């Protein structure tokens, strides 16, 4: 059994707590800088709410800092020096953000997390790192309880994965949002694109993405692109359309493809 304390009350905290429900992980308690959030989260997961950081016991196995990237260092510094493993959950920040804590690790799921839709981490790639072999063994044992896909990844590697995840997930979702907005204006059903989008994602893993690029931009079809621009209602989308089209064409011209 592993005894765990969660610091934070947002999407990541909720996701980890949810994933721990059907394991032998024991949640000793939760802490948030907002007392009401601590109490609400503790009530939801039937555990203890720590109302101040000084109340947190120092003998738990794991302390997961599920806080904003910019708060990691401050929370790690404010936390008493603990016996257990102190872990942050950022894709971008170095493990050194935990600098005053003796035992350090990182637990970063490559997942778009929303506490209202999240189910579990079972198939989620989890990137882990630790500052010693013993601490790596501990964080690996924790990650293995939550996911079937655990990967030893360095801080530098994790930063590049975070960048790639932002481009592929967040940027693509925004583009989809903009496309749906244009269809909604014309009262057209967005779901008609499901087959196209699903196939595009599958193809990107079955083939080299740059080799299967299609569309007016890669063939420099000026008339089609001008027609598209005339149809767009959102000026920001027009700017993105031009920028993306330019990038697609230049990537090919520069022999990257």
Listing DSSP states for 153-208 in one string gives --HHHHHHHHHHHIIIIIIHHHHHHHHHHHHHHTT--GGGGHHHHHHHHHHHHHS-
Separation CA 115–CA 253 (nearest Å): 43
pTM of full prediction above 0.85: yes
pLDDT reported for residue 256: 60
Of 151, 144, 142, 148, the residue nearest 25 (C-alpha):
142
- Which residues touch 73 (CB under 8 Å, ≥6 apart)? 97, 98, 99
pLDDT digits (tens, 9 = 90+) for 224-250: 999 999 999 999 999 999 999 999 999
Of 58, 56, 141, the residue nearest 107 (C-alpha):
141
- The pLDDT of residue 71 is above 90: yes
- The pLDDT of residue 257 is above 90: no
**C-alpha gyration radius of the chain:** 22
CATH architecture of 2-153: 3-Layer(aba) Sandwich (3.40)
List the structure tokens of 2.
């592993």
Q: Under CATH, what is the fold of the domain 158-253?
A: 1.10.1040
pLDDT digits (tens, 9 = 90+) for 91-125: 999 999 999 999 999 999 999 998 788 999 999 99
Separation CA 80–CA 58 (nearest Å): 7
Helix/strand/coil for 130: strand
Domain layout of the chain by residue ranges:
2-153, 158-253
């Amino acid at each position: 059994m592993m005894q765990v304390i969660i610091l934070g009350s947002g999407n990541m905290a909720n996701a980890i707590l949810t994933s721990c429900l059907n394991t032998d992980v024991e949640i000793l308690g939760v802490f948030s800088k907002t007392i009401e959030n601590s109490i609400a989260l503790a009530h939801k997961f039937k555990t203890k709410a720590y109302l101040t950081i000084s109340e947190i016991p120092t003998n738990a196995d794991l302390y997961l800092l599920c806080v904003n990237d910019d708060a990691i260092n401050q929370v790690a510094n404010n936390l008493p020096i603990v016996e257990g493993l102190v872990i942050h959950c950022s894709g971008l920040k170095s493990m050194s953000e935990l600098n005053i804590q003796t035992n350090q690790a990182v637990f970063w799921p490559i997942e778009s997390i929303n506490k209202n839709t999240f189910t579990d981490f079972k198939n989620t790639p989890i990137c882990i790192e630790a500052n010693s072999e013993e601490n790596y063994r501990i964080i690996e044992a924790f990650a293995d309880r939550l996911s079937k896909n655990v990967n030893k990844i360095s801080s530098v590697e994790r930063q590049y994965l975070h960048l790639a995840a932002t481009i592929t997930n967040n940027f693509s979702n925004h583009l989809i949002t903009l496309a749906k907005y244009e269809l909604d204006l014309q009262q057209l059903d967005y779901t008609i694109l499901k087959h196209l989008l699903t196939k595009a994602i599958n193809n990107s893993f079955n083939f080299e993405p740059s080799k299967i690029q299609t569309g007016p931009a890669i063939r420099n079809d000026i008339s089609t692109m001008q027609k598209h621009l005339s149809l767009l209602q959102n000026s920001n989308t027009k700017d993105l359309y031009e920028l993306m089209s330019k990038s697609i064409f230049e990537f090919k011209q520069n022999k990257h493809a």
